[in-house]
Amino acid sequence: MSGGPEPLIQLDGVNKHYDGAQALRDASFSVAKGEVHALVGENGAGKSTLSKIIAGAVQPDAATVRWRGEPVRISSPIAAQRLGIGIVFQELDLFPNLSIAENIVIGNVRMERSPWVNRKELSRFCAAHLEQVGLAASPWTLVRDLPIAHMQLVAIARALSFDARLILMDEPTSSLADDAVDRLFALIRRLRSAGVSVVYVSHKMKEIFEIADRITVLRDGSTIGTRNAADTNIDEIIGMMVGRAIGSESLAPSGPPGEVVLSAAGVTTQKLRGVTFDLHRGEILGVAGLVGAGRSELGAALFGLDPIRGGSVHLNGREFHPRSPADAIRRRFGLLPEDRKLQGLMMQMSVLENTSIAILGRLARWSFLSHSREKGVAMPVLQRMALKSASPEAGVSSLSGGNQQKVLLAKWLLTNPDVLFLDDPTRGIDVGAKRDIYHIIQDLAGQGKGVLFVSSELPELLQCCHRILVLREGRNMGIVDARTATQEQIMKLATAEPVAA
């Protein structure tokens, strides 16, 4: 490796698993003094887990960590701070109702030696660090009154305030305007020349090649390799990120496409910038893109959760602008949300109650529910899901992730939609359940429904879909034919700058 004589931090044999899923397997990572080192990978490749391990926020199952050559254990965020590791997280972990100064020194072991706050000393201490990051604001401004770019500077100032030698930045530009990005990069370069190392976690290839000295690629929890930015190019890095395709005969039903069932023209919302596509009956249209590209936002717009500001949508040939999910469901549009636990399941209710919740109005007579009628309607669908659950009366919380997802799919099938938007339906579930869900999706298309299938796993989209819509920063980057497209091609659309601006 070309990282100079002795690395600042060196991690080897890092293993970590969550609830059965292996997040990191034998990963390694090393950062030299005074370099900007980009950490890249697809969604779920293990970048966040590795960052959190370095930050002391997550403990690995196994790992050897050396800091300046000495073996250490980063047992907590405080331990990381003592070593000189500072963190600027994606979800800015500042206290919005406290001032800049209080945010900078909170948790700072040196400043909190005395229980009393000396405002004058604090002011002096913070002003120096604010100057360092180029933030011209009073230390007594409340953080919630700052624009997001400035909040980030506060987080960096906090790291500098305890003499951080390594600053970890997770997607630091995800919510920044272009000029703020330029200023951030200038600051990163200043830090580098002052001998501070920066670990830069990002999806954005253009930025990575602009700022990084070296790039390490993670895939499926393993380190694929480290390259000098000067000696590589976007294509090689993307190739390392996606790897080779796994055995993938297409599952998508063949046959001529039906008529257009859903047609979106220039759909624009707060997050979307003119998304256009046609979805046919019997078609499975994949939706690809990195986190934040606007995949879930597309669902929210179509489902009446997020107002459409421009463009038009037609469902079955008629104008479709639902005011609420209830409205969308009535028009026979369904949406399986991304977050099963937060947006999908009623955890204290039974399997049966979760399955029937969206069609109770139709099931009831004079608003009274008959248990046998409810079961009579729900059971056939649950059985078709190959649901290996004990009984419909069982609490839905007792099921595995895959079976919970099947319950939610059953709920949407009962509403008998013409179009179903599936937002990452296979996230965090085991291989067997994934296979079952692929078959259910093929079944739905076979019945002439239009399916929108969002996923972070490209092989899955290439295997299940007819066509794939690629989004990037809310824009439609193109629609590719799933039978001929490659992962590299999609990844490039999802990460690179548009060919013609």
Q: How many CB atoms lie within 10 A of CB 421?
A: 28
Q: Looking at 41-49, 58-66, 363-371, 462-470, which segment touches other proteins (CB under 8 A)?
A: 363-371
Q: Looking at 39-47, 66-74, 340-348, 456-464, which segment touches other proteins (CB under 8 A)?
A: 340-348
69 torsion bin: left (phi>0), alpha (psi -120 to 50), beta (else): left
- Which pair of tokens denotes residue 465? 């879909």
Determine which residue in the list 21, 117, 245, 369 makes contact with other proteins, applying CB under 8 A.
369
Site string for other proteins, 275-314 (x = CB under 8 A): ----------------------------x-x---------
Q: Smaller CB distance to other proteins: residue 14 or 300?
A: 300
Decide if residue 424 touches other proteins (CB under 8 A).
no
Sheet of 310-315: strand order equals: 273-280, 260-268, 310-315, 318-319
Determine which residue in the list 180, 290, 329, 433 makes contact with other proteins, applying CB under 8 A.
329
Q: How crowded is the C-beta side of 171, counted as CA atoms within 13 Å? A: 13
Q: Smaller CB distance to other proteins: residue 138 or 343?
A: 343
Decide if residue 326 touches other proteins (CB under 8 A).
yes
Q: Smaller CB distance to other proteins: residue 139 or 344?
A: 344
- Residue 307 CB, nearest approach to other proteins (Å): 15
Q: Looking at 31-39, 131-139, 175-183, 350-358, which segment touches other proteins (CB under 8 A)?
A: 350-358
> CA nearest 226: which of 237, 218, 212, 215?
215
Determine which residue in the list 130, 153, 272, 328 makes contact with other proteins, applying CB under 8 A.
328
Q: Smaller CB distance to other proteins: residue 254 or 391?
A: 391
Whether 393 contacts 421, CB under 8 Å: no
Q: Smaller CB distance to other proteins: residue 30 or 355?
A: 355
475 torsion bin: left (phi>0), alpha (psi -120 to 50), beta (else): beta
- Residue 370 CB, nearest approach to other proteins (Å): 9
Q: Smaller CB distance to other proteins: residue 82 or 375?
A: 375
Whether 46 contacts 218, CB under 8 Å: yes
Determine which residue in the list 270, 343, 383, 447 makes contact with other proteins, applying CB under 8 A.
343
Look up residue 277 and give its DSSP letter.
E
- Which pair of tokens denotes residue 156? 């960096």
Decide if residue 416 touches other proteins (CB under 8 A).
no
Question: 268-273: long-range contacts at Cβ-Cβ below 8 A with a sequence spacing of 24 or more?
Answer: 268/308, 268/309, 268/310, 268/311, 269/297, 269/300, 269/301, 269/306, 269/307, 269/308, 269/309, 270/297, 270/306, 270/309, 271/297, 271/306, 271/474, 272/297, 272/298, 272/301, 272/474, 273/473, 273/474, 273/475
- Which pair of tokens denotes residue 342? 């937060």
Determine which residue in the list 138, 270, 276, 324 makes contact with other proteins, applying CB under 8 A.
324
Decide if residue 323 touches other proteins (CB under 8 A).
no
Decide if residue 454 touches other proteins (CB under 8 A).
no
b/e for 329-362, b at 16 or more Cβ within 10 A? bebbbbbbbbebeeebbeeeebbbbbbbebbeee
Decide if residue 245 touches other proteins (CB under 8 A).
no
Determine which residue in the list 41, 84, 344, 474 makes contact with other proteins, applying CB under 8 A.
344
Decide if residue 148 touches other proteins (CB under 8 A).
no
**Residue at token pair 């100079």:** 4
Decide if residue 142 touches other proteins (CB under 8 A).
no
Number of residues that bind other proteins (CB under 8 A): 31
- Residue 290 CB, nearest approach to other proteins (Å): 23
b/e for 58-95, b at 16 or more Cβ within 10 A? bebeebebbbeeeeeebeebeebbebbbbbbbbebebe
Site string for other proteins, 371-410 (x = CB under 8 A): ------------------------x---------------
- Residue 58 CB, nearest approach to other proteins (Å): 25
Q: Smaller CB distance to other proteins: residue 180 or 328?
A: 328
- Residue 246 CB, nearest approach to other proteins (Å): 32
Determine which residue in the list 358, 379, 479, 496 makes contact with other proteins, applying CB under 8 A.
358
Distances (CA, A) of 4 to 7, 31, 70: 7, 10, 17
Q: How many CB atoms lie within 10 A of CB 101?
A: 24
- Which pair of tokens denotes residue 36? 């900007």
Which residues form the interface with other proteins (CB under 8 A)? 303, 305, 324-330, 335, 337, 342-349, 353, 357-358, 360-361, 363-364, 367-369, 395, 411
